[in-house]
Structure 1
Amino acid sequence: MMLSRKEYDVDDVLLEVGQLGRYQWNLFLYFNIQQTLGAVIALCVVFIGVEPTWGCATSTASVVNDSIERCVMYEAHSCKMVVDQPSTTIVAEYDLYCSQFYKVALSQSFYFIGMLLGAWFLGPLADKIGRRKVYLYSLIAYVITTFISAASFSYTLFAFTRFVLGFTAAGVMITFFVILMEIIGPDYRAMMGIASMAFFSVGVMVLPVFAYLVPNWRLLTGLSAVLGVVHLTMFRIIPESPRWLLLKGCTDEALQVLKTLAVSNGKSPLPGVTLKKGETSERSAASMLDLFSFPAILIRTTVTIAGWFSASFSYYGLSLGADSLSDNLYVSCALMGLVELPGLLVCILVTDRYGRKMSLVSSLLLTGIACICSGAVQWISQYMTSPIVGVTMILSLTGKFAVSIAFALIYVYTSELFPTEVRNKGLGVTSVAARIGGILAPFVASLDHLSLGLPLIVMGLVPLISGLMSLLLPETKGKSLPDTLHELRNMV
C-alpha cells in the first residue's frame, strides 16, 4: 500500500486497491445482465403489439383483406373476422383492431411516462435513502409487475403495468449506473459506462430471437419475468455506494465496502486507513433547486438537459423507421441494435483520447448534420424520376450511429458533472428530459404530410443546437468527482 496521508477520499483508495478489479467487474456484469433484460421488456411491444393477419369474411364466403374496406365492415359488424393465431399478440387478445389500434402505441407511451415520473421521483429518493435500497425495491417491483403484465386480463391492466414497469425501470437504471460510476476508478469510468450501453443494444438484438422462439405474447412476457427472478436472487453482491455513505457520515460502513473491494481485488484490506468525511451542506439535504443555485451548476444542468432531450428525441425518432430497413420485422429490429455497437465501440475509443466534451459535441453535431442531409436528400428525391433511397438510408444510419455515441456518452458525462450530493437528482432531472424527448419523437412522423423530409430535418436541428450548447461544459476526463456543491463552487 502506498497510502501515507492521515485521511483519504474514495478516489485515493481506488487508485491503490484497483480502479477496475474483480469486484467492479462482478458488479458490472450483474447490473448489465439486467440492462439486457430491460431492453427486452422495454421494447417487447414491437412484437407483442403486431397486428395479426386478418380479414373480413362476408356472407358470400369471400374474405376482404383491404385495410380500409375491412375496417369499415368490421366497425359496422357486417362481417366475420378471420384471424391467424388469435392469441399471440395483444391486438388479438384485447381486440385492438382498426380504430382501437392506437392503444398499442399508447401502451408504449405509458411506459415512457412511467420512466419520466420514476426518474423524477426515484432519483432524488436514492440521494436521500441510498442507491442500494432504491435499486433493490425498484427491481422487486419491476419483476412482480412483469408477472402481472403477462397475466393481464384486460387492456387497462396491461397499460397500467406498462406504466409501472417504466416507473420502476427508471429506478433500476439510474441507481445501478450511479453505483457503478461511484465505485469504479476515474481512469475507467467513461469506458465502463459506455460499455454498459452496449448491453442494451444486445438486448435489442436478443429481443427478436426471443420473439421468434416464443411468439405468444403472454409466454414471452412471462419468460422475461422468470429471468428477472433469477437475476434478483443474486442481489446480495450489490454494495451501497461508499461515496454516498461518506456524504451521510457513515464512515465505518464506507470503509467496510472499500475493504471488501480491496480483498476481492487481491489487495490488503486497508490497514490503518481513515476515510475523509464528506462535507455536508448547511441545510439538511440538497433540493432540486440547488441544481440551478449558482452559475457553474446552472450551466451544467441546463446544457445536460438539452443534451439528454436531443439524444433521446433523435434516437427514438430514427428508430421509428426500423421497418423501412427490411420487410422482415425480426431483421429490422436486430439491425437497429446492431448499428449501435460500432458507435459504442468508437465512443469508448475516442472518449478517453479526446475527452468527454469534444466527443459529445462531435457526436451531436454529426447526428444533426446526417439527419438534416438525409431529410434534404429525401425532399429533393421527390422531384426526381428515380428517388435516391440508398443515400437517404446511409445518412439515416449514420445519424443513428452518431446518436448512439451521444446517448452513451452523455450518461457517463452527466454522472461526472454533478457532485455526489446531487448526482442522482441531476441524473433524475436529465433523464426526465430524455423521456420527454422519447414521448415527443413519435409525433415527428406526423410532419411528413407537410413536407417530405421534414421529420429528418427536425430530428437534425435539435441535436445540432444541443451540440453547440455543449461547448459550454467543462472537461471531466481523469478528474476527481466533487462530492458537494460547495466543492464545485470552489473549483470554478
Structure 2
Amino acid sequence: MFIFSNLYQYIWGTAQGKDKPQDLILQITGSFGKYQLWLFVLLCLTKISIAFHQLAIIFLAPPTQFYCVSTQTLNGCPCDDPIYDTRIFPRTIITEFNLICKKKWLASFSQLAFQAGTLVGSMLFGMVADKYGRRMPLIGACILQFICAFSSAFLPTFELFTLFRFGIGISVGGTMVISFVILMEFIGPAHREILSALYQAPFNVGCIVLPWVAYYYRDFKSLQIALSTPTLLCLIYFYSLPETPRWLIAKHKTERAIIILQHVAKVNGRPVENVRAMVEVHQLAASRQKVNQGTTADLFRTPNLRKRILAMAFNWLTCSYCFYGVSQYVGQLSGDIFINVTSSSAVVLCGTLLSIPMMKVMGRKTILLTCHFICSTCLFILAFAEGILSVLCATVGVVTSFIVFVVVYLMCGELFPTVVRNCAVGLSSMSARIGSMVAPFVLDLKDIHPSLTAITFAVIPFIAFFVTLLLPETKGCELTTTLEEGEKAFTTPPKK
C-alpha cells in the first residue's frame, strides 16, 4: 500500500541528523516551520479522543462488588439476583448487562472487540487513504467515531454495545494511522527522534483527563456521550486540514499539490516563485524511475532479517500488552481509582518527554533492555505488593512499557531496508494489536490467584529482555535500501 510503502521512506529517508535536499517537499516547505507546528496542534485533537476510547474500559467496567440475595454472600457465584455496590459508579456495563460470574469474561471480550476493530481499522483506512487521499478518510473516521461512540450509550443489549465498540475501534485505527501519516508527510527526517515521542504526548494528556471526565460522569451512558463529544472538534478539519502534497503528486494531481505547497512555503517564509517548476521537474524524473518494493515474505527469507523481524515484532507485542493491560490493572488496585489512573498517566507523560533526551544520549537497544528489565522487575514485585507500593510498581511498569513503544517505532524504521521497511512496521504493528487484545483476559487471572495477573504481565517483558539481545544497536546507523544491504547491515562493529 502506498500509504505505508512510501511513508517510511519520507520519515527516515537517507538522512542521519540532517535533511538532505533531494526531497522535493522539504526543498519547498522546509523540514519544520510554523505550518508544521500548526498542523501538529491540529492533529493532536485526534490523539486525545483516541486515548479516551482506548482506556475508557477502565471506567466502563470498573471493579464492582455485589451482594447475592438468594445465597446471602458477597460476590458469591452463581447469582441470579445481585444487588450491586453503586456508591462510586451508579451504572456500568457490569451492572447494566449483569457481567458477573459466568458472564464476567464478557467485559474483557468487549475490550478485545475494540482492539480487534483497531487492527481492522488501521488496515482498512490505510487502503482507503491510498486510493482517496488522507484528508477525507480522516474526516470519515472521525465521523464514524462520533456516531459509534455516541450511539453506544443507548444500546439495549451487550451484543450491540460490543458491536459498536468494535466500530469505535475501527475508527480509532483509522485516525491513528492517517493522522500520523499526514503529520509525517509534512515533516523531515531530522525531527524523527523528537516527533516519535511528542506524537504520543497528546495521547498521554488524554489519559490524564479521562479519569476526571469519568469522575464527573459516573454513569457509563453519560460517560460514553461525554467521551464522544470531543470528536466533534475534528469537524474543523473540513475547513483547515489540507490534503498532503505527497499523495497529490503521487496521484498526478499536480495543480492541487502546487497550490498547497505554495501556501505552506509562504506560511513558513520560504520562496514560492519556483514551486511550479520544481514540481514539474520532479514529476518528469519520477515518471522515468521504477521502484521495486519488497514483500512481507522477504523479511523471512534470510537469517538476519528473519531474526530481527521476529525480535522486533515481539518487542511491539510486549509494550502494547503491558501498557494496555497494566493500565487497566491500575484501575483495579486499592485506593481511589481516579487518583490512581491520573497519577499513573501523569508519570507516563513525564516518561514520554524523558524519552527524548534518552534517545539522544543512549542507544536504542540500551533503552529497550533497561526498560524491559525495570518493567519486569516492578511487575514481579507488584504480584506481592500492597497499598501505595502496588500503585508505584504498576505505574513504573506502564511508564517503561510506553517508553519502549516510543523507541521501537523509531528503531523499527532504522533496522530494516527501504524496500521492506513498511512491511516490517506493518507486521510489528499487528503484533502490538495482538498484545492489546490478549491483555484484558490476563486481568481475569486474578480470580484464580491474586498474584497471577501481575506475574503473567511480568513474564513477557522478562522474555523480551533476552529477545532484545538478538537485535543490533541502530543509533546513528546508515539506513539501508536493498534486501542485500539490510541482510549485511550491523554484522560488523560500527566505526568509532
TM over 0.5: yes
1:313–1:84 Cα change, 3 Å: closer
1:147–1:457 Cα change, 3 Å: closer
User: What is the deviation of 1:107?
Assistant: 0.6
1:230-278 alpha-carbon deviations (Å, 9 max, x no partner)? 2223344333333344444445544433222111223232525414344
With 41-50 and 251-260 compared, the bigger mean Cα shift is at 251-260
- Which residue does the alignment assign to 2:12? none
Question: Is the 2:67–2:73 Cα contact (8 Å) retained in structure 1?
Answer: yes
- Which residue does the alignment assign to 2:10? none
Match of 1:142 among 145, 150, 153: 145
User: What is the deviation of 1:328?
Assistant: 0.9
1:192–1:27 Cα change, 3 Å: same
- Tell me if 1:470 matches 2:478: no
Distance 2:475 2:23 in 1: 18
- Tell me if 1:50 matches 2:58: no
1:294–1:252 Cα change, 3 Å: farther
Distance 1:132 1:265 in 2: 21
With 336-345 and 272-281 compared, the bigger mean Cα shift is at 272-281
1:2-41 alpha-carbon deviations (Å, 9 max, x no partner)? xxxxxx9674652664322121112111111210111112
C-alpha RMSD of the superposition: 3.8
- Tell me if 1:33 matches 2:45: yes
3-state DSSP class of the match of 1:146?
Answer: helix
3-state DSSP class of the match of 2:278?
Answer: coil
- Tell me if 1:338 matches 2:351: no
1:82–1:427 Cα change, 3 Å: closer
- Tell me if 1:459 matches 2:460: yes
Match of 1:230 among 209, 225, 233: 233
Distance 1:424 1:418 in 2: 9
1:121–1:102 Cα change, 3 Å: same
- Which residue does the alignment assign to 1:274? 278
3-state DSSP class of the match of 2:265?
Answer: helix
Number of residue pairs aligned between Structure 1 and Structure 2: 460
- Tell me if 1:365 matches 2:366: no
State percent identity of aligned pairs. Answer: 28
Distance 1:291 1:19 in 2: 31
Distance 1:270 1:444 in 2: 60
Distance 1:206 1:90 in 2: 21
3-state DSSP class of the match of 2:230?
Answer: helix
Task: Output aligned runs, 1:180-199, within 5 Å.
Answer: 180-199=183-202
1:113-155 alpha-carbon deviations (Å, 9 max, x no partner)? 1112223443344345433343233222222211221221211
Distance 2:239 2:418 in 1: 24
Question: Is the 1:311–1:407 Cα contact (8 Å) retained in structure 2?
Answer: yes
The TM-score normalised by the length of structure 1 is: 0.79
Which runs of 5 or more residues in structure 2 are unaligned? 1-19, 490-496
- Tell me if 1:430 matches 2:428: yes
AA at the equivalent of 1:191? I
- Which residue does the alignment assign to 2:399? 401
- Which residue does the alignment assign to 2:206? 203
1:371–1:353 Cα change, 3 Å: closer
1:105–1:40 Cα change, 3 Å: same
AA at the equivalent of 1:187? A
With 21-30 and 365-374 compared, the bigger mean Cα shift is at 365-374
Question: Is the 1:204–1:336 Cα contact (8 Å) retained in structure 2?
Answer: no
User: What is the deviation of 1:290?
Assistant: 6.1
User: What is the deviation of 1:433?
Assistant: 0.8
3-state DSSP class of the match of 2:344?
Answer: helix
3-state DSSP class of the match of 1:469?
Answer: coil
1:175–1:416 Cα change, 3 Å: farther
Match of 1:322 among 324, 327, 330: 330
Distance 1:374 1:490 in 2: 36
Distance 1:177 1:12 in 2: 20
1:374-406 alpha-carbon deviations (Å, 9 max, x no partner)? 466578x7xxxxx79877765554443322211
Distance 2:195 2:107 in 1: 35
1:251–1:410 Cα change, 3 Å: farther
AA at the equivalent of 1:406? V
User: What is the deviation of 1:196?
Assistant: 1.8
- Which residue does the alignment assign to 1:19? 31
3-state DSSP class of the match of 2:470?
Answer: helix
1:288–1:129 Cα change, 3 Å: farther
Distance 2:137 2:485 in 1: 26
With 226-235 and 266-275 compared, the bigger mean Cα shift is at 266-275
3-state DSSP class of the match of 2:200?
Answer: helix
User: What is the deviation of 1:162?
Assistant: 0.8
Question: Is the 1:204–1:337 Cα contact (8 Å) retained in structure 2?
Answer: yes
Distance 1:56 1:391 in 2: 32
With 91-100 and 196-205 compared, the bigger mean Cα shift is at 91-100
AA at the equivalent of 2:461? G
- Tell me if 1:67 matches 2:75: yes
With 82-91 and 429-438 compared, the bigger mean Cα shift is at 82-91
Distance 1:262 1:213 in 2: 45
Distance 2:485 2:139 in 1: 30
Task: Output aligned runs, 1:220-259, within 5 Å.
Answer: 220-259=223-262
Distance 1:294 1:208 in 2: 48
Question: Is the 2:111–2:440 Cα contact (8 Å) retained in structure 1?
Answer: no
Distance 2:312 2:256 in 1: 32
User: What is the deviation of 1:451?
Assistant: 7.8
3-state DSSP class of the match of 1:215?
Answer: coil
